[in-house]
Amino acid sequence: MSRIGKQQINIPEKTEVRFSDGVFFVKGPLGELSRAFKPDIAIKIEDKQITLKPIKITNNSNMLWGTYASHIVNMLKGVNEPFTKKLLIEGIGYKVEKLGENIALNVGFSHQVKITIPKGLTVEVEKNMISISGSDKESVGQFAAKIRAVKKPEPYKGKGIRYEDEVVRRKQGKRAVT
């Protein structure tokens, strides 16, 4: 039994929700989101509350029950307040700039790495910080991970791209023998 799936989900004000043909739609002040769900879980919308219940109790439906509930909660939260991720760039000569619909990274390679910003996301660049925000939690996290994967932080000097709250474990390196 899913503890997350059992809970009723409250629909915030100024948010419209509908479920038809296996697709769940959410519309709020910051935009619209939709997601297709399998028919294993029954989704009911009543009086500003959403309840989920598995149609047939199997291992697969028990796994999907809590997952679908958290997806719906994230959708409701995303259309009311944006999700944000912040990345820090550390290293001598490392810099980032926004060029229209692209981000250009200079992170120690012989060339500039350009990454296209997905639709629905807003990216702000300040000195050595990239701030990614949007209503879809998955796309914000995926784009942040894609940028971080260009140059992960290394353990000796800490150079690279890391999340704002990420702690890089530093290694000691070679020592001179005395």
Print the domain residue range for 111. 83-163
Q: Tell me how far apart the terminal alpha carbons of the chain are, to the nearest angstrom.
A: 62
Q: Which of 49, 78, 107 is at the close of a domain?
A: 78
Q: In the predicted model, what is the mean pLDDT of the chain? A: 92
Among the listed residues 161, 158, 138, the one whose alpha carbon sits nearest the alpha carbon of residue 87: 161
Q: Give the pLDDT confidence of 79-135 residue by residue, as tens digits.
A: 999 999 999 999 999 999 999 999 999 999 999 999 999 999 999 999 899 999 999
Residue 94 has which token pair?
A: 């490392």
CATH number of the domain to which 61 belongs: 3.90.930.12
Strand ranges inside 14-151, DSSP E: 16-20, 23-28, 31-36, 41-46, 49-54, 83-90, 95-99, 102-106, 113-116, 121-126, 129-134
118 and 49 within one domain: no
Q: Give the pLDDT confidence of 1-19 residue by residue, as tens digits.
A: 678 888 999 999 999 999 9
> Could you give the percent of the chain with pLDDT greater than 90?
78
- Helical packing angle, 137-150 and 59-78, nearest 10°: 90
